[in-house]
Structure 1
């Protein structure tokens, strides 16, 4: 009558268990012993009957967990080494919230990830693949561990994996309907049009996987999570945060140029702001015209155009959104394939308004909508350079070289003849001219006879001119002297 309850626990194996010796412990304190051990009727389980002490009445509540403590080594820690000294024992985790007593339990193969003393909330995540997650993988919020992965299971149709996670208080109030979850289980190396990026999770997540979450648009606000229990689990932070943009609009673009370097996942930007991603790149052959087009399919998020756009047009699928799109195309809205990184050669789709672009039309009633495109200026320059090179290839360079060589030979012969015939004659003429210049200089020298004679002649000429001036003045005063002659009184 002084003894406590007798409970039966089913284990997969009875290895290390000894009747009368194996103890039952709770928080390191003995609360009972193994009273009996026998195999189930089907031979698949071992039933261990545990005699608990009178003070251990709470250990018989229905939510209690039992497991055998053995030496274990995994990526998280090393446990159970004390059993090498004291022997194997059965550990207990009592559920404080359970109010109903039970006498039959199913033992755990591994120690539970979370004990009953921890307060918090449980959530379910849906993922296409489990990745490297397992029970006990950490849950992070902005790099701080705030919980653990409890376990996982496959859906009946096998489409998704359902993962149970636990977030401790007070961090559980950060989980709301807009919370985004993603796997943080390894180094993420990205090589795209934006360059190279290396994102590394905490060191513990590299070894045992991990899950991270954050609030929408990075706004931290404690909210009740009563209606937030089931979330999708994305493969990366970028994929998880992209879900904040709302449903995507599928758009196609047709390019006549090569799209080498444009891959699935490349950004679609409007003046530097990412509006979406490339989802497919295909070839569209028109047999009638034997013309190839590169057909690129995009997922655009109109909500990224700003709050005013969202408030006025929502996702842009209505009549007002279609009218706005047609007006933007008339104003010059076009798409171009541009090089994002010269180092990697990766390209991206750039949306912009080109006022001088050729006129274009968009059919907004078509699904998916096909936006007009514009060839890249760099691509046009490359084509022009290619045309110039082609024309240079067609020029008779060899013939031109031969003619130029013959012309140079004739010029050399002419120069040799000039040097042999003309140059000596020119030299003789130059000497004669020099002699003539010396003679003229001697004649014009101030001490020469010619110079004196010329000076005297100029003096007599001045005198003559003075006499002529006096005669002219007299005749002007006495014109009758030409008939009567000069009078005596004159």
Structure 2
């Protein structure tokens, strides 16, 4: 069979896809599906501004809400001016609804604060960022991380208040808010307003204690130990253990005052006082200002010292001295001006005055009646002084009524000043005594006494010489003989002597005669004429013719 007759093969193109390509196609589909799932499950990216990146790690530091992971940190960079840290974080899809204007973030790490020890679980797991979900406002994607955890969540039940004070640093975040020593709230935020130059302290009062906040509620700083030494004596107060360590703020409506209506509006403003004493003083807003002029030293008289009338406080010292410019004569002026306030609220507790005008009119009458002010020692230990008011009816009427555009309150030297004047008067009299003449006379007297003593000594020597003579020593024997003769003479008048016995017999006879004379004397006493007429009666005559 020749080559020309050989059959030829027919070529046909066959279109066929190999099954091997199904594997990459499936892989691509699965990848696309996973990418879609990733994209759809991702939440928004947020920006967090922090002061420091301590404890923050990219890809490791989680964001948690109620201990559930809702995001992770993806980037940490310095901001443009290198003053803070900018943190980027990827949030879960479910976390998008938590990101509101009032959402809060803070770093959870080991912390020792005023409320105790917290964040110990992060010692092993590392720090994380805590998210507190927001409730109000629009969605937000940029936040500032708090330095410390918030005191209460935005939706917590209670009342938020703002206290104002002229000085910053009086309170710190977390400090307790006390009512009668019991913690009813916390300091939530501290700020300073440069325009008003006042510090603002935001408090959160927990429910149900918010019902204690009234219109006339007063807030004051509470220190652990409050020791006050003044003219009124010692005053020691000790707060709670927590306030003893950290301090805090207390509040209440002062006793005897109308509490006013209930405060329900958040962020209502109140004034923060330094202490409870300042709170009490601020209730005496109606007062009369006077100037008192004192001739004595005002050392120990401080602003805030009480003005009392027989132990009842009626006012307060405002300024000591009023002003050196009011002392026109400079240091040659003997009087120190002191500005005081007579407070109507204090006087109303004891006397019924309807207004300041009535009080001023009455005081002017009292001035004419002898009402005077004087300095007295209020505390012997500290030397603090107070001003005491008393009536002195003998005082002359006052002539000066004003001083430096202030009404003048008449004064009188205090007891100590009077004692000083009396002592000075005594010393002046002592100085006026003729001491030199007295000393000269005394010197002359001493010289005369010395001469007399010398003469007495000469007499004593002569007496000793006289006693030493034999004639003088013989005198005692002669004296004894004379005494014996006198004794013998006296013995002759004794009971056994004859003269004594004769005298006794004579006295016996005299007594007998007197006994016999007693009837005669009695008869003469009864009938003095018995010596002339007999004592017998003559019988009555009988007529002769009468006999039968």
Shorter-chain TM range is 0.7 to 0.9
Q: Secondary structure at the match of 2:130?
A: strand
Q: 1:294 aligns with which of 336, 339, 342?
A: 336
Cα-to-partner distance string for 1:144-183 (whole Å, 9 max, x where unaligned): 2222222333333463322222222222232223222222
Counterpart Cα distance in 1 of 2:382 and 2:485: 80
Residue equivalent to 1:484: none
1:257 is the counterpart of 2:296: yes
1:151 is the counterpart of 2:164: no
Counterpart Cα distance in 2 of 1:286 and 1:94: 69
Counterpart Cα distance in 1 of 2:487 and 2:372: 81
Residue equivalent to 1:485: none
Counterpart Cα distance in 1 of 2:125 and 2:149: 18
Counterpart Cα distance in 2 of 1:145 and 1:438: 116
Pairwise mapping of residues 156-195 of structure 1 onto structure 2 (< 5 A)?
A: 156-157=194-195, 159-185=197-223, 187-195=225-233
Change (3 A) 1:360 1:407: farther
Residue equivalent to 1:482: none
C-alpha contact (below 8 Å) 2:48/2:144 kept by paired residues: yes
Residue equivalent to 1:402: 443
Change (3 A) 1:252 1:436: farther
- Distance apart, 1:225 and its partner CA: 1.3
Cα-to-partner distance string for 1:321-356 (whole Å, 9 max, x where unaligned): 322111222333221211112222222111233444
Pairwise mapping of residues 45-84 of structure 1 onto structure 2 (< 5 A)?
A: 45-74=84-113, 76-84=115-123
Q: 2:175 aligns with which of 125, 128, 137?
A: 137
Cα-to-partner distance string for 1:392-440 (whole Å, 9 max, x where unaligned): 355426446535645765776798879969xx99xx99x9999879857
Q: Secondary structure at the match of 2:380?
A: coil
Ranges in structure 1 where 5+ consecutive residues have no aligned partner: 479-490
Residue equivalent to 1:449: 499
Pairwise mapping of residues 76-475 of structure 1 onto structure 2 (< 5 A)?
A: 76-96=115-135, 98-157=136-195, 159-185=197-223, 187-217=225-255, 223-226=261-264, 229-282=268-321, 287=329, 291-306=333-348, 312-314=353-355, 316=356, 318=357, 320-360=358-398, 363=401, 367-393=405-431, 395=433, 396=435, 398-399=439-440, 401-402=442-443, 405=446, 442-443=492-493, 447-449=497-499, 452=502, 456=506
Counterpart Cα distance in 2 of 1:67 and 1:457: 141
C-alpha contact (below 8 Å) 1:174/1:220 kept by paired residues: no
Ranges in structure 2 where 5+ consecutive residues have no aligned partner: 1-39, 465-471, 522-527, 535-548
- Distance apart, 1:139 and its partner CA: 1.8
Moved more, 354-363 or 129-138: 354-363
Counterpart Cα distance in 1 of 2:394 and 2:340: 25
Change (3 A) 1:202 1:220: farther
Aligned residue-pair number: 467
Counterpart Cα distance in 2 of 1:332 and 1:438: 91
- Distance apart, 1:65 and its partner CA: 0.7
C-alpha contact (below 8 Å) 2:73/2:87 kept by paired residues: yes
- Distance apart, 1:233 and its partner CA: 1.9
Task: Tell me the TM-score normalized by structure 2.
Answer: 0.70
Moved more, 71-80 or 380-389: 71-80
Moved more, 276-285 or 329-338: 276-285
Q: Secondary structure at the match of 1:323?
A: helix
Counterpart Cα distance in 2 of 1:294 and 1:408: 58
- Distance apart, 1:230 and its partner CA: 2.2
Counterpart Cα distance in 2 of 1:434 and 1:261: 89
- Distance apart, 1:242 and its partner CA: 1.1
CA radius of gyration, larger in: 2
Counterpart Cα distance in 2 of 1:219 and 1:6: 56
C-alpha contact (below 8 Å) 1:35/1:49 kept by paired residues: yes
- Distance apart, 1:39 and its partner CA: 5.3
- Distance apart, 1:42 and its partner CA: 5.4
Alpha carbon RMSD of aligned pairs, Å?
4.5
Counterpart Cα distance in 1 of 2:129 and 2:331: 79
Task: Tell me the TM-score normalized by structure 1.
Answer: 0.78
- Distance apart, 1:187 and its partner CA: 3.4
Change (3 A) 1:14 1:456: closer
Q: Secondary structure at the match of 2:337?
A: strand
